Amino acid sequence: MHPVFIRIGPLEIRYYGLMYLIAFVVGFFLIRREVRRRGLPLSTEDLLDIFLVTIPLGLLGARLYYVFFRLDFFLSHPVEIPAIWHGGLAIHGGLLGGALGLWIGSRWKRVSIWELGDCVVPAVILGQALGRIGNLMNGDAYGLPTTLPWGIVFPPESPAGQAYPGIPLHPTMIYELIGNLLTFGLLWRLRLRPAKPGFLTAVYFMSYSVVRGLVSIVRGDSLWLGPIRAAHVASLLLFLGFGAWLFYSRLWEPKKKTSSPGSNH
């Protein structure tokens, strides 16, 4: 377990960055496939434009969210603020930034934000799963001490090893990796359902909220809002908000077809 994938002289390629690069590339082709299958009027160039807006805003949101909850440390170590290769990208902040980027992209390219979102969310959860491999190699996003046989003792130079030296910890990044892959399988299956725009997006947010809420119970490096884990607050709000929309709007029902100009009414 080592954060550096390859080192050539002063050049380092880390697993953390490599997993994000793979996620972006794989995600692009999955999204393009879904856009074509659903018949959205977006070319490859349109999707690249949307990526160029969404990815930077997602990374920025993820980092700012993390920095906000660790403000005391980062005010004392400001040079660490851009050092995302050391870990410290909060998924809920990334979702906020990414959602903003997706909204800007949908307005720019004149497509429905919810139809575009339904094309994007399977790739997003798969990318999150890949990102957890980077967390494992980095030794961050770690769990609390455990006596379970699959507990991991992390290297002493890793964030987990520094927090709990020589102590077996819950491999929470692996828990979430499994949960994310199961969510991807669910979304990949449900994407074929002829539902209203936003159905898959709502299922994604609700499903991931459950996964993250459960995993966060044994997270050892949680961000906190007073006595409550910030991930639990964010997950609960997302689950209730998208759950209410899902059931109020009956998003699972087939999308109504618009009548052609010459059809009978």
Tokens of 168: 């077996």
pLDDT of residue 119: 98
pLDDT of residue 175: 98
The answer to whether position 262 is within a domain reads no
187, 151 in Cβ contact below 8 A? no
Residues 6+ apart with CB under 8 A from 74: 67, 80, 81
The answer to whether position 265 is within a domain reads no
Beta strands 4-8 and 228-229 are unpaired
Digit-coded pLDDT (tens) for 134-168: 999 999 999 999 999 999 999 999 999 999 999 99
pLDDT of residue 258: 55
Digit-coded pLDDT (tens) for 170-184: 999 999 999 999 999
Determine the straight-line distance between the first and last CA of the chain, rounded to whole angstroms: 66
Q: Which helix (H) or strand (E) holds 229?
A: strand 228-229
Residues 6+ apart with CB under 8 A from 145: 151, 164, 167, 168, 169, 170, 220
**What residues does 14 pair with on adjacent strands?**
4
Beta strands 224-225 and 228-229 are antiparallel
pLDDT of residue 257: 67
pLDDT of residue 131: 93
pLDDT of residue 47: 97
**Count of structural domains, the chain:** 1
pLDDT of residue 87: 67
pLDDT of residue 228: 95
The answer to whether position 52 is within a domain reads yes
What pTM was estimated for this model as a whole? 0.92
Q: What is the largest CA-CA distance in the chain?
A: 75
The answer to whether position 203 is within a domain reads yes
Question: What's the domain range around 145?
Answer: 4-248
pLDDT of residue 255: 79
pLDDT of residue 77: 87
Counting as low any pLDDT under 50, the low residues of the chain are 259-265
pLDDT of residue 260: 46
Residues 6+ apart with CB under 8 A from 181: 126, 129
